Every structure is written in structure tokens, then in C-alpha cells.
Amino acid sequence: MANSAQARKRARQAVKARAHNGSLRSRLRTAVKAVQKAVLGGDKEAAQAVFQSSVSTIDSIADKKIIHKNTAARHKSRLSAAIKAMSA
């Protein structure tokens, strides 16, 4: 347990930050799953529309350093490749 006032405050702040970061990470996972579901649905136009909104979500979460920028790029690349593979 934290002994100094400063350490107690940092512990309180860490709890808040962890909750906030967790909610953002959950938004990321939901966005990725939405695109995957649209791809499985088979409608390429709908999948591209969902992908566009998901890209902005992924980028904003990467900008906040919740995930690394390369991780965000990898997610976007794989989702994009899945959409492109639908037409083939």
C-alpha cells in the first residue's frame, strides 16, 4: 500500500487512467469486430463503410498511445486485405 500522500494520489490516478484506457481498448476491439462481421456478411459496400468509421477509431486510439501506431497499422492493413479479398 502507498505510504506517502503523493503515492496515494498516484494510485488513485492510476485506477482512473486504467479504467479510461480499458474503455478505449474495448472501443477498438468492437470496431475491429464490426468490420469482421461485415466482411462475413458478404456485402462489400457495407464492409467498406464500416471500415472507414473503424479506421478513424483505430487512429484516434493510436494517437492517444493506448496501442502502438504499428499495431494500429497492422489492424487496418488486415481489415483492408479482408475487404479486398471479398471481390476475388
pTM as predicted: 0.84
Question: Can you give the residue range of the structural domain that contains 82?
Answer: 5-87
CB–CB of 50/35 below 8 Å?
yes
Number of structural domains, the chain? 1
Q: Show Cβ contacts of residue 54 under 8 Å, excluding neighbours closer than 6 positions.
A: 31, 32, 34, 35, 79
pLDDT score, position 1: 74
Q: Quick one: DSSP state of residue 65?
A: T
Q: Quick one: DSSP state of residue 4?
A: S
Average of per-residue pLDDT across 61-78:
97
pLDDT score, position 4: 95
Residue 88 pLDDT > 70:
no
